[in-house]
Chains A and B, each alone.
Chain A
């Protein structure tokens, strides 16, 4: 099962950091962790992905636990525009799942002014 576990919802205040958790306890060595987000009335938007090491890009940081059973998406300074549903997606090796992304329910992030 390629599903991950995320909280249904989280709240944050504008300009504060946000830590979005994700559990993927059955992850295997070749599985990547991806994060996408979906703003209202838009398609999913790629945020970041990683395999073993922590990753940083202009949008966010991804912290992956040493045992890789969990990870955290970090938005360093939340803005109102960051209010969206955030999806943590585990991609299995291509032999198993090809190139498909398996979306769960995600975490609805609310950012308060």
Chain B
């Protein structure tokens, strides 16, 4: 079974530019999550999709971040315009069922560097 795939693995962009991160969850997993770790801090929750619907987006830092999951398969996270403080590692995770009886499978992350 293929795991959670994230693309690109690394991205270096200039401040003010736009970057789009992509996450392909495990096939059949309705639940998709975005997390990030910035500036050596703790990993923080960003948002949660159930199929194509945003279940919880309370962790999104501001309106420069836009997450989509059209068709309930892969998801994209767009940062526009990028700021220096957006640098960090962005993780995607998926799970088959919502709730605490199952673990989440994380991708390897996208390391974003804004210069």
Query: CB within 8 Å of B: which residues of A?
Result: 32, 34, 36, 41-47, 49, 91, 94, 98-105
Q: Do the beta carbons of A44 and B48 come within 8 Å of each other?
A: no
CA distance A101 to B94 in the complex (A): 12
**Chain B, residue nearest A32 (CB):** B100
Q: Could you tell me if A102 and B99 are in contact, using CB atoms closer than 8 angstroms?
A: no
Which B-chain residue is minimally distant from A51 (CB atoms)? B100
Bound-state Cα–Cα, A104 to B45, Å: 12
With A32-B100, A100-B48 in contact, do A43 and B42 touch (Cβ < 8 Å)?
no
- Asked if A103 and B43 sit within 8 Å, CB to CB, the answer is yes
Q: Are A44 and B56 in contact, CB atoms less than 8 angstroms apart?
A: no
A43-B45 CB under 8 A given contacts A94-B99, A99-B31: no
B74 CB–A CB distance under 8 Å: no
A-B contact pairs, 12 of them (CB 8 A): A32-B100, A34-B100, A42-B108, A47-B103, A49-B100, A91-B100, A98-B55, A98-B56, A99-B33, A100-B45, A100-B56, A103-B42
For residue A77, give the distance in angstroms from its CB to the closest CB of chain B.
Answer: 22
B105: interface (CB < 8 Å):
yes
B77 → chain A closest CB, angstroms: 15
Please measure, in the bound complex, the distance between the C-alpha atom of A99 and the C-alpha atom of B33, giving whole angstroms.
9
Complex Cα–Cα for A25 and B60 (A): 29
Apart from A36-B103, A43-B109, A99-B99, 13 more pairs, CB < 8 Å: A34-B100, A43-B93, A44-B43, A44-B91, A46-B103, A49-B103, A99-B33, A100-B33, A100-B45, A100-B48, A101-B35, A101-B45, A101-B104
| Distance A103 CA – B42 CA, assembled complex (angstroms) | 6
Point out the residues of chain B lying under 8 angstroms from A101, CB to CB. 35, 45, 104
Please, how many angstroms separate the alpha-carbon atoms of A64 and B91 in the complex? 29
- The listed residue (B48, B106, B108, B109) touching A98 by CB distance below 8 A is B48
